[in-house]
Chains A and B, each alone.
Chain A
Amino acid sequence: MTEITEVIGEFENLVKNFNTTKALSGLSFRIYKGINGLIGPNGAGKTTTIKLSLGLIRADAGKAEVFGFDCWKESLQIRRKIGVLYEKVAYYDHLTGLEHLKLIAKLKGIPDPAAESKKVLRLVELEEEAHSRKIKGYSAGMRQRLGLAHALLGNPELVILDEPTSNLDPLGRARVIEIINKLKKEEGFSFLISSHILPELQRVCEHVVLMHKGKAIREGPLEQLLNEVAPQAFMIKAEPAAPLMELLKAEACVKDVRLDEGYVYVVVEDSTLFKKRLPTLASQAEASLEEVKVAGRDLESLFRVAVLGG
């Protein structure tokens, strides 16, 4: 992983309400040069944050700046430096993929729109279909790849991808991740990737922001966060689970207890003490411990710990 230091975006105490719904409630984080991950469940405020960064919506309060420009007042300057792929992909469907990209390239002021369009189409392996077929005849996966090509046009300084793999099959997903890594290494692109498919993000992200209920609950270099958090969570398979969970909740060293996919998921403050106490608690609950493991050192676990324990 490369060193990430240069800040290209800064958000401070952002608040955004849609009528009675709180979309963002004091969101603060930074976007660094490199690959940034915006992680959170549906409704966490990821898409709102992306829209806000492009000047599509205005914050009720707080500061939002990208490349030193105010996201609402100077959004045109920001949009000149950014390429974006939204989860909801919509283009002029009566055009072919190539025609669409040439139009966008012209709007972006790219000197040779045709050559640049063909270059990005090659990158997403859509060259053949994009020449002849109109966008309205594209499958969801093809639209997604065209969207990626659209975002990459003209070598933007920051590429924002909102759920870039949501409509793709496993092979397509792997290909997108491969493209992102390649562009980062060879072209020096920076990315802000929003997704809830965490294993994929873990493969590419250098810096992550964990969002929950419109707030950033953790932020930092991925490696550092994984090191901090991973040993603090345990997954326990016990039979019966309910009485053990009740006892665990009363323990001082335990921060949170949840039942998740058959496992009792426990976030602890002192893992050494917890390991000592667990057999005693299981005995008191008359529960047999079938499996006890430290939660994986991965984004998914990191996110669970952050949400449950944060």
Chain B
Amino acid sequence: MDLALLKADMRKVWGRPTLELAVGLVFFISITTVQTLFEITTVTRLESAFNTVVTDTLVRITSTQMLPLVILSGILVSLSFARDYEQGLMQTLLSLPVSRTSIFAVKFVAVVLPLTLLSWGITLFIMVMNYFTAGNGLLVIQIAAWALPVTFFAVMFYAGLAALIALALKKTITSTLATVLAGFFVSFITTLTPEVLGPIADYLVFTPYAAPIMTLKRVLGVRQLAEPGLEMSLPPWGFFILIIFYAVVFLVPTYIYFTKKFEVKE
């Protein structure tokens, strides 16, 4: 991957007003999350670090707060691929003596790297704020240790999906809308109740946004009070593999399509 090209692409993707909007979003997420977590952690005791209800609640709060960043990653990747295609920059780049692998990596990393660093910044900020102010530091560290890799994997998952949509549709507005809808759809599936889903409800734990939560619970040894479900059929490391699989599930085929089949037709 060429660093000079990466720098140029990052400056394009993160030019005004994108960077300002992202920083504003991060600031908003940080403030609201810190406040919510603070209210919970100050009233819980050390034992509650392994309490399923508290852990579950905190993880869900963190995940929900991170969702806008994940959606932003999809929008930026979609813009980076589809807008560059429409404007002709993709054609210019693909005509240079640079491999397609390098161009793909540059366009992907230009979005994913700064966004991951931003999300890690939020997580660490929240962790530090809560650690020194809340009564339950262990709980905070647990959440942070989970959030750091999971945010990266979630961004990778969604950015891969966005790149695939952008390369397939090749239209800026259409692909951005499709990416946002796809993101909310995946998130929406996670919120469906067993009453709605019926017999397939058990499989919900394996969906892209639910699997990371299950990973944390299984690693901590937190169990549901009710009958154990299908999630117990996978060991904790199985869930780790599952979220790594989700991180590359769209990325790998998109990369293969871009390097082997993608054509600049217009």
Are A107 and B94 CB-contacts (below 8 A) given A56-B264, A86-B88?
A: no
B256 at the binding interface (Cβ < 8 Å): no
Q: Give Cα A18–Cα B264 distance, bound, in whole angstroms.
A: 11
Query: Are A84's CB and B95's CB within 8 A?
Result: yes
Q: Give Cα A80–Cα B98 distance, bound, in whole angstroms.
A: 9
Nearest chain B CB to A86 CB, angstrom units:
6
B263 at the binding interface (Cβ < 8 Å): yes
B193 at the binding interface (Cβ < 8 Å): no
Q: Give Cα A104–Cα B92 distance, bound, in whole angstroms.
A: 10
Q: Which residues of A contact B2 (CB under 8 A)?
A: 106-107
B22 at the binding interface (Cβ < 8 Å): no
Could you say which of A93, A94, A95, A107 contacts B96, with CB atoms under 8 Å apart?
A107
Please name the residue on chain B nearest to A105 by beta carbon.
B4
Nearest chain B CB to A92 CB, angstrom units:
5
Please name the residue on chain B nearest to A48 by beta carbon.
B265
Nearest chain A CB to B217 CB, angstrom units:
45
Could you say which of A57, A79, A90, A108 contacts B87, with CB atoms under 8 Å apart?
A90
Please name the residue on chain B nearest to A102 by beta carbon.
B4
Query: Are A103's CB and B97's CB within 8 A?
Result: no
Please name the residue on chain B nearest to A51 by beta carbon.
B264
Q: Which residues of B contact A82 (CB under 8 A)?
A: 95
Q: Give Cα A265–Cα B212 distance, bound, in whole angstroms.
A: 75
Q: Which residues of A contact B95 (CB under 8 A)?
A: 54, 56, 79, 82, 84, 86
Q: Which residues of B contact A108 (CB under 8 A)?
A: 96-97
Are A57 and B264 CB-contacts (below 8 A) given A94-B11, A103-B4?
A: yes
B199 at the binding interface (Cβ < 8 Å): no
Nearest chain B CB to A89 CB, angstrom units:
7
Q: Give Cα A55–Cα B97 distance, bound, in whole angstroms.
A: 11
Please name the residue on chain A nearest to B87 by beta carbon.
A90
Within 8 A of B (CB), among A58-105: 58, 76, 79-80, 82, 84, 86, 88-95, 103-104
Query: Are B97's CB and A88's CB within 8 A?
Result: no
A109 at the binding interface (Cβ < 8 Å): yes
Q: Which residues of B contact A57 (CB under 8 A)?
A: 263-265
Q: Which residues of B contact A54 (CB under 8 A)?
A: 94-95
Could you say which of B9, B97, B265 contacts A76, with CB atoms under 8 Å apart?
B97
Query: Are B94's CB and A56's CB within 8 A?
Result: yes
Query: Are B15's CB and A104's CB within 8 A?
Result: no
Q: Give Cα A93–Cα B15 distance, bound, in whole angstroms.
A: 11
Which of B5, B97, B99, B263: most chain A Cβ within 10 A?
B97
Please name the residue on chain B nearest to A55 by beta carbon.
B94
Query: Are A86's CB and B96's CB within 8 A?
Result: no
What are 30 A-B pairs with beta-carbon distances under 8 A? A51-B264, A54-B94, A54-B95, A55-B94, A56-B91, A56-B94, A56-B263, A57-B263, A57-B264, A57-B265, A58-B263, A76-B97, A76-B99, A79-B95, A79-B97, A80-B97, A84-B95, A88-B91, A90-B84, A90-B88, A90-B89, A92-B11, A92-B89, A93-B12, A94-B15, A104-B96, A107-B2, A107-B98, A108-B97, A109-B97
Q: Top 10 nearest A-B pairs by Cβ distance?
A: A90-B88, A56-B264, A88-B88, A80-B97, A57-B263, A90-B89, A79-B97, A90-B87, A92-B8, A106-B4
